[in-house]
Structure 1
Amino acid sequence: MEIRMDFLNCLDHDTSMKILRCLEDPSDLVRASYVSRSWRDFVIANGLCKQLCLSMFPHLLRVDCVLEPSCVMEKARKSDDAISASSTDNYPEESIRNTLQKGDRVGRRPSYWSSKGQRKAAVPETLVYKLVADICVITEINIQPFQAYFQQGSPIYSAQSVRFHLGHPKCPMDDTLGEPLDNCADDKFIWTYSSPEFPMAQESRLQNFKLPEPVVCIGGILQIELLRRVQRQEMDGLFYICVAHVQVKGRPLSSAFGVEILGPSGKFVLKTLSSAPPSSLPPSLPEDDALYHGVPLQGLADLEQVVNGLGVGVLDEDWNSEDDEAADEMDDELAF
């Protein structure tokens, strides 16, 4: 009979740690923990999943405490919606809500958002959206500038560049947002992530803006900052920005998690709604619609399982990242 041996049991602790820390993908570390019970115990005891996940997604360092499934009532999934635009030219015909529709037409009618006209090209515009989940991993955002096919020369009202901000509201928001607002004050939100500035093409197509790395959005708020105007309208000589469609790609995690923001501090309570790692998107969420009008990336499925493990078996535990000793003591509880 072939002799089998668990080499991890034959190595000292430091050597084993060096070997497993060579795994830079959380899904690889999870797979390694399935090799044997001793490997799994070693990964959990040393908090390897937690450490790697926190290094990849530092936003999770703001977890103040974690609540078990028995202490949490699952909430209904919120749908995506438009919150506000910094300005709208003809409301509601050119509302930000039109950007939730695919393409640039609904039936025979044009579908787009338009800013108010400005004499100076440098005046920016912002669009604010509520994503379908309070906690989600975002990988890219796509924008289609609007081409005014009904105007002479069919001008395209693109911005020169774009930047994205992710965060959460300072105060709880109602599930039903009502009509989108104009000139919504920026001080209603806290932005925890800002992307680099991406150049936009003066083309009427869905333009892809991939973030440098996947970003955990905690709070479910996206702001699109449209920088510098390019196109004047012939009839009034003013600069406008018009957007036909916005698409966000990533993966929602709210089927397993709920989030409660703890005021302006930026810390939050992570509520585990299920101790079982989700194997698919929520039943109410179409397979081709991850956040809104986005395609889920299958490579994030393992990541969802890793993040889900952070909340298993923890009740009202302090998660202060500044206290290294406390964090070390919790490695057993916050990893799986």
Structure 2
Amino acid sequence: MDVALDFLPRLGEDVSFKILESLKNPSELIHASCVSRSWHQFVVRNGLCKQMCLKKFPQLSEVDHVKEPSSCEKVIAEAGPSNSLHWENLQREHRVFAFLAYCCAKPIISECVAAAISASSTDNYPEESIENTLEKRDRVGRLASYWSSKGSKDPSAPEKLIYRLAGDLCIVTEICIQPFQAYFHEGYPIYSANSVRFRMGHPKGSMDILEYQMDWEGNERTDEKFTWTYTSPKFSMSQENCLQTFKLPEPVLCIGGVLLIELLGRVQRQEIDGLFYVCVTHVKVLGRPLSPAFGVRMLEPEGKFELRVHRYDPEVLKETRNALDATAMQKRILNMLQANLIGVNYMLGEDQNDEEQDEPDDEEEW
């Protein structure tokens, strides 16, 4: 087959979709959309960059529409089937989700907690405030740094800690928690929980998240002011004085920038009053903030949100505009098919029953 001939239109819509959908790297899909006018139209028309993002992060299914910065450099794209408003919207979605896929693929892991919001209870405020859990030192001066719940006669009583993440959009991969060991109590007891669970979401309504950072003594109904869009499975917590890592089954895109830590059950009774407590020394969240490049605007009460690009990376814009050599990209796709798919000749319209058909001698014949 002559690679100078655009083979994609010959395969039909379904087969072409399957081929390009199999591209896993965002850069490869962006490059494929730059090969030719027909390839660009196909990628944009079928929303392949959006589909790639949805597969990785199902939370994006609640995107109502996307918005680009009004001051951004206008991306000059191949003309679509028409100059309709619908095509312009498809082009915009293609650029936004291509940029999002590109940013999500970066292997950069960092700490993601920006601030503590509230705890469901606090034993001695402010000495044992939730803010202490963000202190990297176990002690500040001669005082231990930790958060403590109020005591309870019920060992199954839960506690909740709420944090603000470093951005409206944040990819979270794991959460680390260190229970507190009371070195000033006889026997050095460790006040861990039985298990933990995590929720992620956003404030309800249009109020700014900072407006919820007001009741440091705790309010058991504080979390009702938030909508949780993700809930993790339960993880067992060890009664050990160490930073315990809880890795999520898959990376999660937190939409709205709020993390809830549920501490489920208590294992340690305090000798002084006979009540059960749970105490935490450190909390650390690892992942990848997508701000300031991205932001969201919640659309209540629908539960949808507007996905915003505040600023584009100039290198990504350049990549989306630069057309690659059509022969090289088509050859790459064909080699991928040859290595991974059965029945390529059938899809290309060749006769599979011709047993005497010559095989290509090397890659150049493709």
Structure 1 counterpart of 2:115, one-letter code: D
Look up the SS of the partner of 2:15 in the other structure.
helix
| Correspondences of 1:142-157 after superposition (within 5 Å) | 142-157=176-191
How many angstroms apart in 2 are the aligned matches of 1:232 and 1:222?
28
Displacement of 1:180 after TM fit?
A: 2.6
How many angstroms apart in 1 are the aligned matches of 2:117 and 2:175?
17
Match of 1:65 in 2: 65
Change (3 A) 1:96 1:271: same
Change (3 A) 1:228 1:79: closer
Match of 1:197 in 2: 234
Displacement of 1:55 after TM fit?
A: 2.3
- Aligned counterpart in structure 2 of residue 30 of structure 1, from 24, 27, 31: 27
Question: Contact conserved, 1:256 with 1:278, CA < 8 A, in 2?
Answer: no
Change (3 A) 1:85 1:275: same
Look up the SS of the partner of 1:37 in the other structure.
coil
How many angstroms apart in 2 are the aligned matches of 1:203 and 1:229?
14
Question: Contact conserved, 2:125 with 2:217, CA < 8 A, in 1?
Answer: no
Q: Unpaired segments of 5 or more residues in structure 2?
A: 73-111, 321-366
1:231 partnered with 2:229: no
Change (3 A) 1:179 1:55: same
Look up the SS of the partner of 1:69 in the other structure.
coil
Question: Contact conserved, 1:163 with 1:198, CA < 8 A, in 2?
Answer: yes
How many angstroms apart in 1 are the aligned matches of 2:9 and 2:165?
49
Question: Contact conserved, 1:159 with 1:229, CA < 8 A, in 2?
Answer: yes
Aligned length: 271
1:130 partnered with 2:125: no
Question: Contact conserved, 1:231 with 1:239, CA < 8 A, in 2?
Answer: yes
Match of 1:180 in 2: 216
How many angstroms apart in 1 are the aligned matches of 2:244 and 2:7?
48
Match of 1:208 in 2: 245
How many angstroms apart in 2 are the aligned matches of 1:120 and 1:113?
19
Displacement of 1:163 after TM fit?
A: 0.3
How many angstroms apart in 1 are the aligned matches of 2:113 and 2:315?
19
Match of 1:316 in 2: none
Instruction: Give per-residue Cα distances to partners, 1:116-159, cap 9 Å, x unaligned.
Output: 11111011000011112111111111101011111111110000
Change (3 A) 1:155 1:79: closer
Q: Unpaired segments of 5 or more residues in structure 1?
A: 73-77, 280-304, 307-336
Percent of pairs identical after alignment?
Answer: 56
How many angstroms apart in 2 are the aligned matches of 1:147 and 1:277?
49
Match of 2:20 in 1: 20
Question: Contact conserved, 1:34 with 1:40, CA < 8 A, in 2?
Answer: no
How many angstroms apart in 2 are the aligned matches of 1:6 and 1:256?
39
Question: TM-score of the superposition, structure 1-length normalised?
Answer: 0.73
Question: Contact conserved, 2:113 with 2:285, CA < 8 A, in 1?
Answer: no
| Correspondences of 1:41-120 after superposition (within 5 Å) | 42-70=42-70, 80-120=114-154
How many angstroms apart in 2 are the aligned matches of 1:45 and 1:269?
21
Higher helix share: 2
Structure 1 counterpart of 2:128, one-letter code: E
Task: Kindly name which structure, 1 or 2, has the bigger radius of gyration based on alpha carbons.
Answer: 2
Change (3 A) 1:277 1:240: farther
How many angstroms apart in 2 are the aligned matches of 1:191 and 1:277?
34
Change (3 A) 1:10 1:63: closer
Question: TM-score of the superposition, structure 2-length normalised?
Answer: 0.68
Change (3 A) 1:9 1:61: closer
- Aligned counterpart in structure 2 of residue 258 of structure 1, from 295, 317, 321: 295
Change (3 A) 1:82 1:277: farther
